[in-house]
Structure 1
Amino acid sequence: MKPMETVVIGAGAIGMLCAAPLAETEGVALRVAASGERLNRLREHGLFLNGRPLQAEFASEGGDRTADFILIATKAAGYADALELAAKFTGPQTVIVPLLNGISAEEMAKRRFPENNVVCGFFLGHASVRNGNRIEHDGVGTFYLGSTVSEAPEAVRRTAELFRSAGISCGIPEDMRAALWKKFVLNIGVNQATAHFRADYGGLQRDPARLEFTMRLMREASAVAEKLGIAGAADMPEAAMHTILTMPGNVKTSMFQDVEAGRATEVALFAGTLCRLGRETGVPTPLNDEILREFSGK
């Protein structure tokens, strides 16, 4: 049987949680796609998850091996370039699977690949810790898959089968649009608040004022979601706060890790998106406006 040709673009904190188990799955031929200096570094130094080296081919183009699935897990700033790199591995039957934070990745992928099925996804669980080419993760978390633009239930089912064949925990929400917004509301709160206060989860959990700040960020997001007709929007801040309060205190969000490392944050993806939607819908987002100015100067 022909192996399932699978390409991962962005084998970092999230991408490695897919790449590592897929690389060890019978019937899957895994390639990690990159270009330029990053490709050279990958070939020279490799990638590691919890100390185990990733056994995969590193490639910059597909050649005559078009992909069955392309999983894209870059940061938002690298997404446009990742879509162009994906084109080098894409054939008529390729399923494009963006696994980014935010609520717009599927739409962007569908614009770039209008003839292909696009399955969007996100990860909900403990954050990975990245140090160069080494990723550490405790195994707690689940990927959620669906489609809001493509209406591609068969592609969603096949993608879930791929994940499960590798032992990757995944689910298929009944309402993917609502599920994306639920994660977005959580990110609006916890990623931005931990970056603002330079704190891990414990640094929020122990401080009522910081928790209230976090809740205000999330209430602005849920107000926009309500205006857009997202199911269950009013309940999202309380659900997100429950998640925040039950996380291990020593876990650091990805945005706080970016701040600590001096990397660009994803504030444009979080507050930037929300503030734009707030203006479009007439919903005020003053605290998220402040966060956007703090981290982007806009």
Structure 2
Amino acid sequence: MKKIRKVTLVGLGAIGAAYGSLLHDSLADSFQVVANEERIKRYQEKGILINEQPYYFNYITPEAKTEPADLVIFAVKNAELPQAIKDARHHVGSDTIILSLLNGISSEEEIYAAYHNEHILYSMSVEIDAVRAHNEVRFTTRGRIEYGEMDNTLSDDVHAVKELFEEIGINYEISRNISHTMWWKFMINVGINQTSAVLKAPYGVFQSLPIAYEWVESAMREVVSLSEKTGTGLSEKDLKKFWPIINNLSPNGKTSMLQDVEAGRKTEVEYFAGKVCELGKKYGVPTPINEQLYKMIRIIEEMEKLPK
């Protein structure tokens, strides 16, 4: 069976740093983080504070030649994925396992189109409440990584990742139906990420105000309707499963999209509401909530460009 000894990470945002710290602690020099020279200089000067502990990772530039890794993890935003794919090209070989922790339901196909790698596992990070500000990352829970083969087989790749996660202490779940799981996470992102970005609200607002959480469920329900058309099997039961999850997150925790809005960065609205509206037109499913969220978030993005 495969053994993962060398791991490469692309992306040191909140999620990448949270899992990267465990990889660094266990694998030492066998764990590398791909970053450009400007970022490496900045990271080496100040380090990355992860729950107040400074980390100085083993960095490598995209241009540096290296042997392919056993596992490559992508933990960037969707808009950054094309560049990340280019940056990781020296790290991906024919036998390299790939995990993409990006939000949405399309990154694996984009990675496959670039590499034609047959070892891409479908994956996502669930229930993590990490927040990054400048060089500091804080979280109360890393949540878990759910992953699996698209045909739901327990392949050698699945077992190799399982062995690694158990060795270094990453909580995981091997999905029995990965397409359903991916759509469930997509549904959550569409609901909580977007409404939190518009309201500029941490998780505590949705835990305390029923009217705010009703808006989350309205956006998610449109994804459930689409799922019925695509055969990915979401139901009202799946929608209700999110309530106890959000209640276990830190009230001060923030979604990645809210963090983007607060930092004045481009959001992933095209991959959330934009995708919902696109599929709604394709399948004839009304998506009025996501149409409004799309407009609101795009307006917020454009307001950032106005003269101060």
2:26 is aligned with 1:25: yes
Cα offset, 1:212, TM superposition: 1.8
Equivalent residues in 2 for 1:105-184 (5 A)? 105-148=107-150, 153-184=155-186
Task: Please say if residues 9 and 75 of structure 2, whose CA atoms lie closer than 8 Å, have aligned partners that are also in contact.
Answer: yes
2:231 is aligned with 1:229: yes
Identify unmatched segments of 5+ residues in structure 1.
none
Task: Please say if residues 223 and 234 of structure 1, whose CA atoms lie closer than 8 Å, have aligned partners that are also in contact.
Answer: no
Bigger mean CA deviation after superposition, 150-159 or 271-280: 150-159
- CA offsets, 1:102-122, max 9 Å, x none? 111111111112134111221
Q: In the alignment, which residue of structure 1 is the partner of 2:57?
A: 56
Three-state SS of the structure 1 residue aligned to 2:72 is strand
Task: Please say if residues 275 and 285 of structure 1, whose CA atoms lie closer than 8 Å, have aligned partners that are also in contact.
Answer: yes
Q: In the alignment, which residue of structure 2 is the partner of 1:296?
A: 298
Three-state SS of the structure 2 residue aligned to 1:249 is coil
Cα offset, 1:244, TM superposition: 3.0
State how far apart, in whole Å, the 1-side matches of 2:142 and 2:219 are: 26
- CA offsets, 1:195-241, max 9 Å, x none? 11111122123323222211110111110011111124342222223
Q: Note closer, same or farther for the CA distance 1:118–1:239 as it changes in structure 2 (3 Å cut).
A: same
2:43 is aligned with 1:42: yes
Amino acid at match of 1:46: G
Task: Please say if residues 96 and 116 of structure 1, whose CA atoms lie closer than 8 Å, have aligned partners that are also in contact.
Answer: no
State how far apart, in whole Å, the 2-side matches of 1:128 and 1:23 are: 18
Three-state SS of the structure 1 residue aligned to 2:68 is coil
Amino acid at match of 1:12: G
Q: In the alignment, which residue of structure 1 is the partner of 2:306?
A: none
% identity of equivalent residues: 32
2:13 is aligned with 1:9: no
State how far apart, in whole Å, the 1-side matches of 2:60 and 2:18 are: 19
Amino acid at match of 1:25: S
Amino acid at match of 2:49: F
Cα offset, 1:243, TM superposition: 2.5
TM-score, normalized by length of structure 1?
Answer: 0.91
TM-score, normalized by length of structure 2?
Answer: 0.89
Bigger mean CA deviation after superposition, 79-88 or 119-128: 119-128
State how far apart, in whole Å, the 2-side matches of 1:72 and 1:221 are: 25
User: Between Structure 1 and Structure 2, how many residues are aligned?
Assistant: 297
Q: In the alignment, which residue of structure 1 is the partner of 2:276?
A: 274
State how far apart, in whole Å, the 2-side matches of 1:254 and 1:294 are: 17
Three-state SS of the structure 2 residue aligned to 1:22 is helix
Identify unmatched segments of 5+ residues in structure 2.
303-308
2:220 is aligned with 1:218: yes
CA RMSD of aligned residues (A): 2.3
Cα offset, 1:55, TM superposition: 4.1
State how far apart, in whole Å, the 1-side matches of 2:275 and 2:49 are: 33
Cα offset, 1:15, TM superposition: 0.8
- CA offsets, 1:138-166, max 9 Å, x none? 23411111132897822122122222211
Cα offset, 1:175, TM superposition: 0.4
Q: Note closer, same or farther for the CA distance 1:254–1:27 as it changes in structure 2 (3 Å cut).
A: closer
Amino acid at match of 1:205: Q
